[in-house]
Structure 1
Amino acid sequence: MSENIERYFDQYGLSPKTRAFIAKEHGLFIGGEWSVGPERTDVIEPSTGEVLTTLTTGTVDDLDRAVAAARRQFDEGEWPRMKPLAREQLLLKLADALEANLDEFAEIESVDVGKSLQDAKDIDIQGTVDTLRYFAGWASKIGGRSAEASSMPGEYLAYTRKEPVGVIGVIVPWNFPLQTLAWKLGAALAVGCTVVVKPAELTSLSALRFAELAQEVGIPDGVINIVTGRGSVVGSALAAHKDIDKITFTGSTKTGLAVGHAALENWTRMTLELGGKSPVIVYSDVDIEQTVERVALGIFANSGQVCDAGSRAYIHESIYDEFIERLGAHVSSLAVKPGLDPDCFMGPLVSENQMRQVVDYIEIGIAEGARLVTGGPGTSETGFFVQPTVFADCDNDMRIVREEIFGPVLVCQKFSTEEEVVKLANDSDYGLAATIYSESINNVLRVAPQLKAGSVYVNAQSTIDPAMPFGGYKASGFGRDLGAEQLDFVTETKTVWVTIDA
């Protein structure tokens, strides 16, 4: 760890416990055992741009060992055969242990991703705790149904069974590493599945600490397996593995297509939660000051690295000029600081590559003729910081409007009629989310059904809860995480017919 990172940690009082975890020699977690490989991958701290620690670079052989361990536990072990209440109690115990270590996990997530420490506490880690508790409760409440034959002659007892789908391959993204992991694991573990996890190579630390915690509370060996490494090696092998029963992936649409093609070769079930370019519709009846703050939060939280961020705003022409003026003033006042700084609203981007990609899009927007309201293509001397950027007077043919930037860039344009704005909002390859700002319930109830999006937020952005499903339309993927609906994606439904002889 460099002197600059040490000074950064000293300045903001990073805890000794977190420092000790970061300094460990990080390995792979397979079948309840830790192993360290010879090849290492650097972990870069985003606020300084320097090496934080190293990870074991997993191989295809490592992935095969992890799948075999998960298969043994599923086919022969106690987890799928455990009474549902016992699984429920272990998941609750894991949630309690995570909550007891909330500050440590938040620090890990902040320095690994670069995000605000307060957001890491309130959103990432508390959200993980809540998700585990929600799905723990489902473990003892999942069951089939019985029915009478509707047309067949004779007498039968007919019923269904909900059975765990098997070994699930989990590929998680780098922007919300632990929270997304919980989205994938909560339902899967509750029903008795076992998992092999490929964390994002940029942000694997919280998954490794989570595995330690799971072992400490008594989750059986082989239920959770973690293989760090390159997506092109470990991730590809996991998606194509013949002994995986289901793949669940969150990430870019381009990578999701590759994962989906690989999985289909083996008829592997899949859930794909992919990219987004979510529209935000602002009616003329809103409180402008309040809506400006909410629209800004919806795109600049987590430095814009959010799949359902409200990244393209359509503002009614009667308030457009005033809205853009106030939006520019508000955004230019946002605190862009290192993630551990208590005043941080927006931290750095996760990597130099991500920073360069966002800057390239800002330069594309300028070249396309969009009006730069605030922000711009400049970068910091240290770390991966980009100023929050707002473009006005855009149109739907611009690349910055059509393509997912995945960074702190908001594109804005005006609309005249409701029919016009619905067409503009739906004119996208993506369909993950959409947002409506209006004081009129009639506006909301008319437009929400017309928007081609998996989630429609009203007068807020990214209002996500474990009780409600999350997923997209079109190129934003298919299948759902969260909610009771997710249980159908981690179980098989078996129908049993019992003939009753007269």
Structure 2
Amino acid sequence: MTFEENLTRVEGYLERFRKEGVLNHINGASVPAQSGEWFENVSPVDGAVLAKVAHGGASDIDAATEAATKAFPAWAALPGKERRRILHAVADAIVANADRIALVESMDTGQAIRFMSKAALRGAENFRFFADKAPEAADGLSLRAPGQLNVTSRRPIGPVGIITPWNTPFMLSTWKIAPALACGCTVVHKAAEFSPMTAKILVEIAESAGLPKGVLNLVHGFGEDAGKALTEHPGIKAVAFVGESQTGSRIMGQCAPTLKRVHFELGGKNPCIVFADADIDRAAQGAAFMIYSLNGQRCTSSSRLLVEESIYDEFTARVADMASKIVIGHPLDPKTVVGPLIHPEHEQKVLSYFDIAKAEGATIATGGQKLGEKGCFVTPTLFTNATNDMTIAQEEIFGPVLTAIPFKDEAEAVALANDVKYGLSAFLWSNDLERTLRVTDRLEAGMIYVNSDNVRHLPTPFGGMKSSGIGRDGGDWSFEFYMEQVNVCFPTTTRQIPSLT
């Protein structure tokens, strides 16, 4: 589709939101916040108001949790094969609505449509994968020991809270919600306030596909009101959160009094390590793609570029040249690679690092500017002549901004890679197999990609260490979070009970 066609179609999709507002969804019904309050959802393209959004709070979380609690026994008792059928129907509905989801999310987040169209379909893949695992959700083990037989099983933990971020919100919501539903849990979803629209689309199309009312509920709001009420609510048995590390720490404290289980996918300052023996062309393309696609607003982006000294100048020049040629523009233009950042607040945060970089002595090899007067457009940026102790090398900027640091040898590369508080992902470029095995063994990261961007395989564990999170998504790891393990012990011989006298 052309840019003009995309604009026409998205206006049709947004018409309802502009007329009604983006409502909460509780027990199968679209409802405003009980307080009657709203907040504005602002377009990152030009600052215009896309729609008003229901400003939920504690009373809305109470109502959503009550609905999830009432719906839980029947949903949990539903045979796994039936949950599989329903979740596959949800996936079908996502595919049928992929165009609407992608265009709305592109306008809501500023992400280029070339990436958002794939994100919508990845959401359907998430539902299909976990749908197929639903029949085995309760499966356990038979563990024999002398004189006894132990049989384990899993049970859904109950109503859970899911708090999702503003970057690629639809896909990341399905990444959390699909396994929770497959396990037999019910959900109260608190969507990101900067990009709330596709969360409403998801719950509506899920129910249209047969998901029972009350199984998936949605409350909009901010972290300090709706989010805090959700994490502290005694009826919520676990909280899965994707977002910034400091927020994760606060949520852990809020969950502590009710001893909730928590699962955190948090920030990253991920290294991309390039050795001189790497395929330089592919490595440069991979480094650029992993920071400049999706506006650099993803937790797995390789925001630190560690390059062996002997090729540092040549390599950074290649990346700078690539960055300078990236098409920046309206997110609905098929030619656009980098669109506007999510919100004026976040734009100001990213822009602040340009002055920090100069003050610390780094060089802005390309970019480092706001583009235009309207919208949140920032040029793809590369910092060179940087050291790992600089703020730009330690803090998560979360934009199209890359910091390049030279290293002398393998030992220094590993030391630099690990010398941050984060440990989410890492990227390694080398054609020396023995070296890649040595280095990957020493990297402090939950996910490591060798000579590749971050390809995904849904059965594998996804998550980080240190300040990048707690727990893993994917495959059976998701089920372990949303389910309780139960063991039943059967003596196989008559056992003498010890006397108390």
Shift of 1:145: 1.2
Q: Please tell me the residue identity of whatever aligns with 1:232.
A: E
Counterpart CA distance in 2 for 1:30 and 1:22 is 17
One of 234, 238, 241 as aligned partner of 1:242: 234
Q: Please tell me the residue identity of whatever aligns with 1:49.
A: G
Shift of 1:241: 1.1
For residues 88-487 of structure 1, what are the structure 2 equivalents within 5 Å? 88-122=84-118, 124-142=119-137, 143-150=139-146, 154=147, 156-487=148-479
Q: Please tell me the residue identity of whatever aligns with 1:109.
A: E
Instruction: For residue 375 of structure 2, give the secondary structure of its aligned residue in structure 1.
Output: coil
One of 17, 28, 31 as aligned partner of 1:22: 17
Q: Is residue 146–residue 157 contact of structure 1 (8 Å, CA) maintained in 2?
A: yes
One of 64, 74, 85 as aligned partner of 2:81: 85
Counterpart CA distance in 2 for 1:439 and 1:332 is 28
Counterpart CA distance in 2 for 1:171 and 1:347 is 25
Q: Please tell me the residue identity of whatever aligns with 1:36.
A: P
Q: Tell me the alpha carbon deviations over residues 345-379 of structure 1, each in whole angstroms, 9 at most, x when there is no partner.
A: 11110000111000001110111100110001334
Cα RMSD for the two superposed structures: 1.5
Stretch deviating more after TM superposition (280-289 or 254-263): 280-289
Shift of 1:465: 3.1
Instruction: For residue 310 of structure 1, give the secondary structure of its aligned residue in structure 2.
Output: coil
Structure 1 residue aligned with 2:499: none
Q: Is residue 353–residue 397 contact of structure 2 (8 Å, CA) maintained in 1?
A: yes
Instruction: For residue 74 of structure 1, give the secondary structure of its aligned residue in structure 2.
Output: helix
Instruction: For residue 321 of structure 1, give the secondary structure of its aligned residue in structure 2.
Output: helix
Stretch deviating more after TM superposition (137-146 or 437-446): 437-446
5+ residue gaps, structure 2, are 495-501
Q: Tell me the alpha carbon deviations over residues 271-330 of structure 1, each in whole angstroms, 9 at most, x when there is no partner.
A: 011110001100111232332121111011111111111000110111111111111111
One of 69, 72, 84 as aligned partner of 1:71: 69
Counterpart CA distance in 2 for 1:30 and 1:91 is 19
Structure 1 residue aligned with 2:498: none
CA distance 1:380–1:15, shift in 2 (3 Å): closer
Stretch deviating more after TM superposition (21-30 or 180-189): 21-30
Counterpart CA distance in 1 for 2:199 and 2:405 is 40
Instruction: For residue 145 of structure 2, give the secondary structure of its aligned residue in structure 1.
Output: coil
CA distance 1:118–1:499, shift in 2 (3 Å): same
Structure 2 residue aligned with 1:4: none
Q: Is residue 10–residue 104 contact of structure 2 (8 Å, CA) maintained in 1?
A: no
Q: Please tell me the residue identity of whatever aligns with 2:154.
A: K
Q: Is residue 310–residue 461 contact of structure 1 (8 Å, CA) maintained in 2?
A: no
Instruction: Please tell me whether residue 43 in structure 1 is matched to residue 41 in structure 2.
Output: yes
Q: Please tell me the residue identity of whatever aligns with 2:456.
A: I
Counterpart CA distance in 1 for 2:96 and 2:6 is 25
Shift of 1:413: 1.2
Q: Is residue 294–residue 461 contact of structure 1 (8 Å, CA) maintained in 2?
A: yes
- Paired residues, what number? 488
* Aligned-pair identity (%): 37
Counterpart CA distance in 2 for 1:17 and 1:97 is 19
Counterpart CA distance in 2 for 1:479 and 1:147 is 25
TM-score, structure 2 as length reference: 0.95
Counterpart CA distance in 1 for 2:366 and 2:310 is 22
Structure 2 residue aligned with 1:54: 52
Q: Please tell me the residue identity of whatever aligns with 1:51.
A: V
Q: Is residue 309–residue 461 contact of structure 1 (8 Å, CA) maintained in 2?
A: no
Stretch deviating more after TM superposition (19-28 or 349-358): 19-28
Counterpart CA distance in 2 for 1:145 and 1:50 is 56
Instruction: For residue 463 of structure 1, give the secondary structure of its aligned residue in structure 2.
Output: coil
Instruction: For residue 92 of structure 2, give the secondary structure of its aligned residue in structure 1.
Output: helix
5+ residue gaps, structure 1, are 1-7
